[in-house]
């Protein structure tokens, strides 16, 4: 990953961004820094991880909202490691278990919504990656130009893509947005329909895959904590 120079409170820092698929979220990140000064070269190495950061917050002097965010993130990440068959080693698994001792959160409740008409999209699904998204698979004859999208009351831009299921329009959903309705409107018509994670959860439970169900449940709970944390930070 390339480093970029950023300024924070008048101080220059080098920032390195690493995108982690959710099934690798708790893997170690190896960082090596080489500093050349005159005839001297200094090498430094660090091992970083989301788990180490979460542990420092959970064991630190932070409020309940922040610590709950870290705990629900760990639940989601741990469930994702299991679902994507990237099991944590024994030491990390034990750390996660200890950090989550006595932690629980009720499942959020909401109305499941999905399009009732397949004229415009053949199906809608959830893609779980570094950033979760909803994918609307286009029916024949339709393109991105035929639709506008909103998440809650916010207009959002869909991106085009293609996978083994066909062409799709993808709406990126940050954690705090995951329980919001994604609404599409067919331009030039009065057709407006919605999709949400509650609907996907209903579908996931029919598949008989306990690991998938656990990931979706963890994502839903994490979304609640992420929204609460965001609201606390921005004063909403």
Residue 174 CA, distance from chain mean position = 6
Mean pLDDT over 59-68 rounds to 96
Give the pLDDT score at 51: 96
Question: For residue 236, what pLDDT is reported?
Answer: 56
pLDDT, tens digit, 9 for 90 and up, residues 134-180: 999 999 999 999 999 999 889 999 999 999 999 999 999 989 999 99
- The pLDDT of 103-131, averaged and rounded, is 91
- Cα separation, 23 vs 82, whole angstroms: 8
Query: What was the pLDDT predicted at 122?
Result: 95
Q: Token pair of 107, please?
A: 């499942």
Residue 188: pLDDT band (50, 70, 90) is: very high
Dihedral sign of CA atoms 17, 20, 26, 31 in order: negative
Instruction: Give this prediction's pTM.
Output: 0.89
Among 40-54, 71-85, 138-152, where is mean pLDDT lowest? 40-54
Most confident of 33-37, 44-48, 196-200: 196-200
The enclosing H or E element of 185 equals strand 182-186
Q: Is the pLDDT of residue 34 over 90?
A: no
pLDDT band for 16, please (50, 70, 90 cuts): confident
What was the pLDDT predicted at 33?
Answer: 82
* pLDDT for residue 31: 85
Indicate the range of 37-41, 91-95, 169-173 predicted with least confidence: 37-41
With CA atoms as reference, report the closest residue to 74 among 101, 43, 99: 99
- pLDDT on residue 36: 81
Q: What is the pLDDT of residue 128?
A: 82
What the block records as the tokens of 114 is 């999905």
Residue recorded with tokens 């609201």: 231
pLDDT averaged over every residue in the chain: 93
Is there a contact between 62 and 122 (Cβ–Cβ < 8 Å)?
no
For residue 1, what pLDDT is reported? 66
Q: What is the mean pLDDT of residues 191-215?
A: 96
Helix (H, G, I), strand (E, B) or coil at 233: helix
| Least confidently predicted of 14-23, 85-94, 117-126 | 14-23
Of 15 and 229, the one with more pLDDT: 229
Which pLDDT band holds residue 80 (cuts at 50, 70, 90)?
Answer: very high
Query: Would the pLDDT of 181 be above 70?
Result: yes
């Amino acid at each position: 990953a390339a480093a970029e120079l950023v300024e924070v409170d008048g101080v220059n820092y080098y920032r390195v961004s690493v995108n982690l698929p959710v099934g690798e979220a708790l893997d170690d990140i190896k960082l090596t820094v080489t500093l050349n000064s005159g005839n001297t070269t200094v090498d430094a190495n660090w091992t970083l991880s989301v788990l180490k950061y979460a542990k420092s917050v959970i064991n630190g002097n932070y409020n309940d909202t922040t610590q709950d965010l870290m705990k629900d993130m760990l639940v989601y990440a741990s469930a994702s490691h299991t679902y994507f068959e990237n099991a944590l080693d024994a030491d990390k698994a034990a750390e996660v278990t200890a950090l989550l001792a006595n932690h629980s959160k009720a499942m959020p409740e909401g109305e499941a919504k999905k399009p009732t008409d397949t004229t415009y999209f053949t199906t809608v699904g959830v893609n779980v990656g570094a950033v979760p998204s909803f994918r609307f698979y286009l029916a024949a004859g339709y393109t991105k130009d035929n639709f506008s999208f909103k998440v809650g009351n916010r207009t959002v831009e869909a991106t085009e893509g293609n996978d083994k299921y066909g062409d799709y329009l993808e709406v990126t959903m940050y954690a705090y947005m995951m329980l919001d309705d994604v609404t599409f409107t067919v331009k030039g018509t009065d057709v407006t329909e919605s999709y949400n994670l509650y609907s996907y959860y209903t579908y996931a439970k029919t598949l008989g895959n306990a690991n998938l169900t656990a990931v979706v449940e963890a994502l839903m709970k994490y979304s609640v904590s992420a929204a609460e944390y965001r609201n606390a930070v921005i004063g909403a």
